[in-house]
Amino acid sequence: MPLPETDLDARLQAILRAFEGVEAPLLEILHAVQLEFGHVPEGAQRQIAEALNLSRAEVHGVVSFYHDFRTEVGGRHDLKICRAEACQSMGGEALARQAREALGIDFGETAADGSVSLGSVYCLGLCACAPAAMLDGTPVGRLDGPQLEALISETRR
């Protein structure tokens, strides 16, 4: 459900004021907006662009480039599966399939009950411990099927 425009405006203006005078604050502002709202709403992107004298395309480009930014509200939990080559070579694609099937959603989607969002990342820096995943910011290496089932169970609590 979208936020009322006035609520979005007031909260966003407070964030923008907090970064006045900061050099090149776009990423910091986007992180603050996502922390505040759980995502970076389209209306916020427009206002951020205006405040920083950037085009909407520039702000949208940053939001869409970095996988940690979302344009829609995510789930209560965030499960990311590493899909980089090292993890693929160690069975990561089978785990990716298992996660999609168990959750009934695809990458970039959120479960209908809002419990979890499933994402893919292309390197968690755990190549020596492949395959890897991350649940709510906590990395898990040497992941196998039963461990993935346990992570998924955690998202349902």
Average pLDDT, 10 consecutive residues per value, the chain (157 residues): 68 96 96 94 95 97 91 93 97 97 95 95 95 96 97 93
pLDDT in tens, 19-64: 999 999 999 999 999 999 989 999 999 999 999 999 999 999 999 9
pTM (whole model) above 0.85: no
Taking every pair of Cα atoms in the chain, the longest distance, rounded to a whole number of angstroms, is 50
Strand order in the sheet with 109-110: 109-110, 116-121, 77-82, 133-135, 138-140
Contacts of 76 (CB under 8 A, 6+ apart): 114, 115, 116, 155
Note whether 49 and 43 are within 8 A (CB): no
Class of domain 77-155 (CATH, top level) = alpha beta
